Structure 1
């Protein structure tokens, strides 16, 4: 069996540095490189962050190089470079939209351009990064092809992911967010064909509903999946949010299973600590979701949903990585390899990288 260094596509020293004994304080002793991943001695935190915002909604950002240093320090070896597709106005003093109800937070290409320039300036190999197009206005699909053309012109071949883009995000409705309609979704056809042709996954934020109406927006994501069955669609946060924090887990899981069964190109995004804080940590609920992921071990990818605003630092990133990785401890070995060790992400992107097998337990 090839060594872990070859399987993860990074130098052996990097893999060995990542192979530490997990402990609550983050300390650990390095172990020798092995032909398999030993879950009893190595960390449960994910080596992929597929949902990471290198730029904030407004205000000062953590530098590109500093975010990459956070990833190396925490053992994350692969990450998607999301901007924030919706920017606060340049004359706003706000960093976060919730602090500024009534202030417009509208689609913008600015963050993606900055990310592209930062990537071209450094071309980092560790971590291995994938640039994402986050500026699509899904309520105005006629504008998207020209945005893709802009990415192609300025950064040919470098943007290999789309999203996070908002179909319906209830949290920013007070900030002028316009959800896409069923008619708008029909109008996505030109750019969805192009994404399909290129094999580009698209991460879509589509709230399932609210606490008052838990499945209010379910028809929207269903329409997307029915209309674009050949696209690689990633459902951000499995449709959950702070606005939907008390749904019956059994009802949610039943909906997710139905969608997974009907749509083989659907992948679940497990990012954002809201999933852990509001759902997985509730008594008996973690086991229900672990059983779901074990039943569909190739259909989910991990992420933090960290937003790199300057008022945060490494301690916040480290905590969010640990919190969003707690579900990994409850997974069976196949799902653990697919999610925590990155195999599902590698497959989705078409990378030749292969995650290590998990050592058989004695």
Structure 2
């Protein structure tokens, strides 16, 4: 449902109507004035329209949250591993021991909502979240099933789990090297169709900061031509004590070696555990500035019915706070969406930041 330049044009028009501070007149009337406009991202590349269990926030209500908060582009993620239908839980951590099972039901539900209720003023990109990366047999066939039922609708894959420690108590099985080798058929399809893949792969934990790094390295080594987005920069609640310098060195090495690798900075855990601390932030900001063309913003909001607009607005604000420290080019790429537009091949163009 591409609408080239329509939404970006609306953003430009809105920005042009905003008065500049202290009487300054920008050279470009369509530029984005960081002094008077919000720092919150206009893209939410990591948004789960479906919860792990229980009822979801209705589709129209959730797209209303986007509209009200200034988000004009979003990925429509489901949840690929869901709690049993007879479970009373909405969040897996509340039910240790209850297995989460791979399922296509969220992808079908999201696709149906997109067909019936797609908004005209918010650009949504539908994503396949069903793949079980530890059992790749059948992924290609299921992709074809979605294609048959909803031709041309799915333009992203993910978030899918390579290793997610928080799910281990719910029978989550991490993929291993042999499993990763078995991805080849569906990875070939993703390459041919220019579909990005967002992977959740924990870097490690407080006992071993890089315990699982070898798994992501194996993926990148085997599939260097696939456009892969590493969710949360590999961070998690289980990894709160890593030296930012060590983390950044790992990321820099991988980003330089694999030009198709991108990162998303979704999830408030990144802010709470790292970006909110001045010394850590002072190390991350130069990294974000340098690689901004390959970095995507997102909330990692999970749309369970026990949440509301206030919750979403708070998550958007917290996950966007690092934007305030970016240089102007990085702000344009990340907060204003140019990196997202480029990754998806959209014709939309983010406004440039106003110069004094």
The residue that corresponds to 1:16 in the other structure is: 14
Report how far residue 13 of structure 1 moved.
Answer: 7.8
Give yes or no for the alignment of 1:66 onto 2:69: no
> Which of residues 186, 195, 218 in structure 2 aligns to 1:191?
186
The residue that corresponds to 1:334 in the other structure is: 329
> Which of residues 137, 144, 150 in structure 2 aligns to 1:142?
137
Structure 1 residues 183 and 19 mapped into 2: Cα distance closer, same or farther (>3 Å)?
Answer: farther
Structure 1 stretches of at least 4 aligned residues deviating more than 2 Å after TM superposition: 5-15, 17-21
Report how far residue 35 of structure 1 moved.
Answer: 1.5
- In the superposition, the TM-score normalised over structure 1's length comes to 0.92
Report how far residue 66 of structure 1 moved.
Answer: 0.4
The residue that corresponds to 1:80 in the other structure is: 75
The residue that corresponds to 2:22 in the other structure is: none
Structure 1 residues 129 and 197 mapped into 2: Cα distance closer, same or farther (>3 Å)?
Answer: same
> Which of residues 39, 59, 62 in structure 1 aligns to 2:34?
39
The residue that corresponds to 1:89 in the other structure is: 84
Alignment of 1:258-273 (within 5 A): 258-273=253-268
> Which of residues 274, 277, 282 in structure 2 aligns to 1:282?
277
Instruction: Say whether the 8 Å CA contact 2:191–2:225 is kept in structure 1.
Output: yes
Instruction: Say whether the 8 Å CA contact 1:137–1:143 is kept in structure 2.
Output: no
Report how many residues are paired: 347
Superimposed CA distance per residue, residues 326-359 of structure 1 (whole angstroms, 9 cap, x where no aligned partner): 0100001111110000000000001111111111
The residue that corresponds to 1:170 in the other structure is: 165
Instruction: Say whether the 8 Å CA contact 1:47–1:340 is kept in structure 2.
Output: yes
Gaps of 5+ in 1: 22-32
The residue that corresponds to 2:108 in the other structure is: 113
> Which of residues 98, 102, 122 in structure 1 aligns to 2:97?
102
Task: Determine helix, strand or coil for the equivalent of 2:160.
Answer: strand
Structure 1 residues 83 and 20 mapped into 2: Cα distance closer, same or farther (>3 Å)?
Answer: farther
Structure 1 residues 236 and 15 mapped into 2: Cα distance closer, same or farther (>3 Å)?
Answer: farther
Q: How far apart in 2 are the matches of 1:155 and 1:49?
A: 23
Instruction: Say whether the 8 Å CA contact 1:51–1:303 is kept in structure 2.
Output: yes
The residue that corresponds to 2:217 in the other structure is: 222
Q: How far apart in 2 are the matches of 1:143 and 1:240?
A: 29
Task: Determine helix, strand or coil for the equivalent of 2:137.
Answer: helix
Instruction: Say whether the 8 Å CA contact 2:16–2:31 is kept in structure 1.
Output: no
Q: How far apart in 2 are the matches of 1:115 and 1:6?
A: 23
Report how far residue 12 of structure 1 moved.
Answer: 3.3
Superimposed CA distance per residue, residues 278-329 of structure 1 (whole angstroms, 9 cap, x where no aligned partner): 1101131112111101111211000000000010000000000000000100
Task: Determine helix, strand or coil for the equivalent of 1:124.
Answer: coil
Q: How far apart in 2 are the matches of 1:310 and 1:345?
A: 28
Give yes or no for the alignment of 1:315 onto 2:310: yes
> Which of residues 221, 226, 230 in structure 2 aligns to 1:231?
226
Give yes or no for the alignment of 1:202 onto 2:202: no
Structure 1 residues 92 and 290 mapped into 2: Cα distance closer, same or farther (>3 Å)?
Answer: same
CA RMSD of aligned residues (A): 1.9
Report how far residue 8 of structure 1 moved.
Answer: 5.6
Give yes or no for the alignment of 1:179 onto 2:174: yes
Q: Which moved more, 1:8-17 or 1:280-289?
A: 8-17
The residue that corresponds to 1:25 in the other structure is: none
Q: How far apart in 2 are the matches of 1:334 and 1:291?
A: 12
Report how far residue 18 of structure 1 moved.
Answer: 11
Gaps of 5+ in 2: 20-27
Q: How far apart in 1 are the matches of 2:191 and 2:181?
A: 15
Instruction: Say whether the 8 Å CA contact 1:293–1:299 is kept in structure 2.
Output: no
Q: How far apart in 1 are the matches of 2:11 and 2:339?
A: 24
The residue that corresponds to 1:295 in the other structure is: 290
Q: How far apart in 2 are the matches of 1:187 and 1:19?
A: 53
